[in-house]
Amino acid sequence: MQATGRTASVDDAAQRRSSALGATAQDDAEPPRRRIGRARSYKPSQEQIVLLITLALLAAFSVALPGFASIANLLNLLRSISVLGILGLGMGLIVISRGIDLSEVAIMAAGWSVALIEMQRGMPIPLAVLLALGIAAAIGMANGLIIAFIEAPPLFVTLASGFVIYGVAFWLAPAWVIYAPNDAHGLLLLGRGHLLGVPLPIFVFAGAAIAMHLFLTFTSIGRFIYAQGDNPEAARLAGISVRPLTVLAYTIVAALAWLAGLVWIGATGSMQMQVTQGTMVFDVILVVVLGGVSLAGGRGSVLSVVVGCALIGTLLNAFTIMDVNTEIQNIIRGVVLLAAILLDNWLHPRDEETARQGD
């Protein structure tokens, strides 16, 4: 009986070794097919597609438009998108967290309009700069508190706050254009200065982009923001304080709006309240969505904002050289935004997106 048992054990072991060898051989045969399947199903990222389109347009406009490829024009192109890019960094952050802020441009204009009026009335410039920052931070914090604790939809909260901000700011500073004092050279430095021949707004945008990248990539709060955007309920169950995180995100957006306003004032010497009634906030959303930040939240990066700004800046610069009228430019903006949404849906189908987010 023992011999029979040993024989059976040996047979079982041999069978297991044979099965393992067969499985190994099968595994060795399968990877090429899997690799071919993965190669066939590969889709480039939206950032890669937009970057390639931007490079192609740069090459085409350089050949077709005289003066487009000059160093002076390319620096002007980068300078012109600096304010839009800084605002886009804030909007990208809040969209990644599955929110939106339609009051960002109003925060920029309102805080600085009140500060410039106070400067004209004799307030010291450093104190007025801090006043603008305080106004912006207070508005951003208020937006975050309402959205986080009352759980009102971000779209409607920020849309309503944008109207309130505009009304209160115009009441306190009743002028469409408020000019900075002529002797406020330090205030105007970031918008007008140069470093090694390069306009300072480009360095401000680059510095803000690097800081935002480091924040989102290498800090626990940044990873929590991605988790919140991916699935807020799962993030809450994992122990992430979602509500304070929401308040922080909207406060950061407001701080970036303040920084964009500082660059704006330096470049123009004034703050225009009418920007709150224009299409600038939709341009900010355009560069964010175009670059690949998902409106569903949880996906996107600083690179998304940068490539979106590069494409829009290239188009607007070429339109200026070609003297394309505003109506045509608005039509093209709308078409580009629609194309970006369709591209996002193709790259990330909704069934895949909702399954990934656990909805």
pLDDT of 351 strictly over 80: no
Q: What pLDDT score does 297 carry?
A: 78
- Per-residue pLDDT band for 350 (boundaries 50, 70, 90) equals low
The pair of three-digit structure tokens given for residue 248, joined into one six-digit string: 């922080």
What is the average per-residue pLDDT within 50-59?
89
Task: Look over the chain and give the mean of its residue pLDDT values, rounded to a whole number.
Answer: 82
Q: Are 171 and 260 in contact (CB under 8 A)?
A: no
Q: What pLDDT score does 293 carry?
A: 87
Cβ-based neighbour number of residue 296 at 10 Å? 18
Please state which of the ranges 134-148, 201-215, 297-311 shows the lowest mean pLDDT: 297-311
Q: Are 258 and 131 in contact (CB under 8 A)?
A: no
Q: What pLDDT score does 231 carry?
A: 86
Q: What pLDDT score does 205 carry?
A: 94
107 vs 105: CA distance, rounded Å: 5
User: From residue 344, how far is each of 34, 87, 288, 324 by CA, in Å?
Assistant: 25, 22, 12, 28
What is the average per-residue pLDDT within 342-358?
61
What is the average per-residue pLDDT within 90-105?
92
pLDDT of 234 strictly over 80: yes
First and final CA of the chain: distance in angstroms? Answer: 60
Q: What pLDDT score does 39 carry?
A: 46
307 closest CA partner among 75, 42, 45:
45
254 closest CA partner among 165, 193, 156, 150:
165
Q: What pLDDT score does 184 carry?
A: 80
pLDDT of 76 strictly over 80: yes
70 vs 280: CA distance, rounded Å: 27
Pair type for strands 270-272 and 177-179: antiparallel
What 3-state class would DSSP assign to 101?
coil
Domains of the chain with bracketed CATH:
45-357 (1.10.3470)
Q: What pLDDT score does 255 carry?
A: 96
Q: What is the pLDDT of residues 138-176, one digit of tens each?
A: 999 999 999 999 989 999 999 999 899 888 887 877 778
209 vs 93: CA distance, rounded Å: 11
Quote the distance between the C-alpha of residue 223 and its chain's center: 16
Q: What is the pLDDT of residues 302-347, one digit of tens each?
A: 998 999 999 888 888 888 888 888 788 888 878 888 887 787 777 7
Q: What pLDDT score does 143 carry?
A: 95
Pair type for strands 270-272 and 194-195: unpaired
235 vs 225: CA distance, rounded Å: 9
Beta bridge partners of 195: 198
Cβ-based neighbour number of residue 267 at 10 Å? 19
Pick the residue with more confidence: 116 or 345? 116
Q: What pLDDT score does 190 carry?
A: 84
Q: What pLDDT score does 209 carry?
A: 95
The pair of three-digit structure tokens given for residue 84, joined into one six-digit string: 């839009």
What 3-state class would DSSP assign to 340?
helix
126 vs 187: CA distance, rounded Å: 9
User: From residue 212, how far is each of 25, 99, 217, 221, 245 by CA, in Å?
Assistant: 48, 17, 8, 12, 16
115 vs 172: CA distance, rounded Å: 10
Q: What is the pLDDT of residues 7-35, one digit of tens each?
A: 444 344 444 444 444 444 444 444 555 54
Q: Any idea which residue has 């330096």 for tokens?
A: 266
For residues 178-211, b (16+ Cβ closer than 10 Å) or e, as one string?
A: bebeeebeebbebbbeeeeeebbbbbbbeebbee
User: From residue 272, how far is each of 25, 188, 261, 268, 327 by CA, in Å?
Assistant: 71, 15, 10, 9, 21
Please state which of the ranges 66-80, 277-291, 329-343, 345-359 shows the lowest mean pLDDT: 345-359
Cβ-based neighbour number of residue 150 at 10 Å? 8
pLDDT of 187 strictly over 60: yes
The pair of three-digit structure tokens given for residue 272, joined into one six-digit string: 């225009």
User: From residue 58, how far is each of 62, 283, 306, 311 by CA, in Å?
Assistant: 6, 20, 15, 9
- Per-residue pLDDT band for 357 (boundaries 50, 70, 90) equals very low
